[in-house]
Every structure is written in C-alpha cells, then in structure tokens.
Amino acid sequence: MPKGIIYKIQVDKPVFRAIVRECGSSIIKLGACEAIDCTERTIRRSLNEGKMTPCFLDQIARYLDVDPRLLSGELHRKADLYNNDLLRSLYLAHLRVGNYPYFRKRQTDLNKQPMVELLEQILALFEISFSQYESMDFEAQYLLQHDLLDSLVPVIRKHFSVDAYGRKEMPDLEKVINDLENFREDHYLHLYAEEVLRERFLEKPPSGKTKVEIYRMSTEELIGLDMDASPGK
C-alpha cells in the first residue's frame, strides 16, 4: 500500500445509522464514548465518505456488541446475490442485532484457525509436545480429540446458563463433536474408496469406464461410481 494511504472499509451510511439506533445508541453517544478513539465529527465524516478505518469500526462494533460486518452493511450487500425476491427478503429480515452480536465475527475469525493449532496450545499447557500427538495413529488422535471436547460439554453447561446468542438451550454446544464424528466417518469412507473400491474397479472396470479413468478418479468420484453401480444400497 502506498505511503500515506490509510486502508478503510466500505460503510453503508443508512445501514450504519439503523443498526446504531437498533442498539439504542446514537452518533452523539458514540462520539462521547471513551472506549471509542474517534470523535462524533470523525464518525460523521466517515459515514459521509462511505468508508471507515477498520480500527474505528471494530471499536464501535465492540461497544455496541454487534458484528462489524452487520454494522458496515457488508452483510446487507450480500442480499444482491439472491435472485429470488422471497429469499432476499428472508435474508434481510434475519439481519438483526440479536442474530449478529460482536462475538459472531470473532467466532468466524477463530474458526479459521486450524484445529491442530488449538490442540497444540492445549497440549502445551500440560507439557505434552505436539510430536507426541503426531506419533499416534488416526484413531488414537480422534479419540483424544473426542474425549477432550466431550469432557468440556458438562463444564460449559455448569458455568454458563446461555450461549453467546442468549440461547438457554445452547443448540450448537455439541456441534463441534458431531463435526468431528462426521470427519471420522468421511476419513474411513475415503480410505475404503482408495484401498478397496479403486482396486475392485481396476480389476473389473464398470461399464463405460476404462482402467485409466479409474486410476485418475478422486475418492469422491469412486464413491459416486460405487453408488451408481449399486443403486439398491
């Protein structure tokens, strides 16, 4: 980026003002807030320009407890991706402060972190090296992750009465465990495709397929071919 140019994020003024009102605040209150490093004048100038520095946007979003993407109008702009009027209306109706707290953006960023990095940090707390984990076979690694996550569920329920969205039932509390279980199933399914299906089809290619085609197929394609060859399964 050229020297002197400050990176700014596109901000939709009407959306920004509407979200601020929905949060029970105002531009004047934001400008007077000590937790925000910009003045009312700076906020108004940024809105008129249609751009705001990421730092200021994040500070305001954190103070209001709203997802910065909702506050800036980024999520609203995605409504243009819907060609169907009903689907577009339903999408826009869902864009409410209660559905998009500040945590939601933070959660999205944290979920980009590879699971192995988080696991390495946890193991390091107990003076276990990651190489010890890497020396374990797939099933042992899976069981460790599953036991670790499963043990956290009752701890979370004991110390928290609602999740970050204010939901008492915490519907997604065990989602990460379900995802891990599905990952294990997919792993063995693809292993089966590579070690069993490929050999089977190479030995006796299905009608219309050559051995060269079978050899070049991905495991997903092999699984699909097996399903087509066995519709009754």
Query: How many Å is the maximal CA-CA distance in the chain?
Result: 76
Res 232 pLDDT > 70: no
- What is the reported pLDDT for 29? 95
Domain assignments of the chain as residue spans, ordered by start: 9-109, 115-229
- What is the reported pLDDT for 107? 85
Burial 116-140 (b: 16+ CB within 10 A, else e): eeebbeebeeeeeeeeebeeeeeee
- What is the reported pLDDT for 111? 80
Q: What percent of the chain has pLDDT over 90?
A: 77
**Degrees, nearest 5: CA angle 30-32-37:** 75
CATH 1.10.260 assigned to domain 9-109? The reply is yes
User: pTM for this structure?
Assistant: 0.68
Res 5 pLDDT > 70: no
pLDDT band at 228; cut points 50, 70, 90: confident
The whole-chain average pLDDT of the chain stands at 91
Tens digits of residue pLDDT in 34-88: 999 999 999 999 999 999 999 999 999 999 999 999 999 999 999 999 999 999 9
Q: Which residues make beta-bridge pairs with 51?
A: 10
Tens digits of residue pLDDT in 144-194: 999 999 999 999 999 999 998 889 999 999 999 999 999 999 999 999 999
pLDDT band at 139; cut points 50, 70, 90: very high
- What is the reported pLDDT for 7? 86
Lookup result for tokens 């008129």: 48
Nearest CA to 66 out of 9, 29, 22 is that of: 22
Four-point Cα dihedral 108, 5, 11, 100, nearest 10: 20
pLDDT band at 229; cut points 50, 70, 90: confident
Return the sign of the alpha-carbon dihedral for residues 185, 186, 192, 195: negative
The answer to whether the beta carbons of residues 76 and 12 sit under 8 Å apart is yes
CB half-sphere exposure, 25, CA atoms < 13 A: 21
Res 102 pLDDT > 90: yes
Q: Which residues are within 8 A (CB) of 200 and not within 5 positions of it... i.e. 6 or more apart?
A: none
- What is the reported pLDDT for 115? 84
- What is the reported pLDDT for 89? 93
DSSP string, 80-143: GG--SHHHHHHHHHH--GGGS-HHHHHHHHHHTS-HHHHHHHHHHHTT--HHHHHTS-HHHHHH
pLDDT band at 110; cut points 50, 70, 90: confident
Which amino acid would we find at residue 219?
A: T
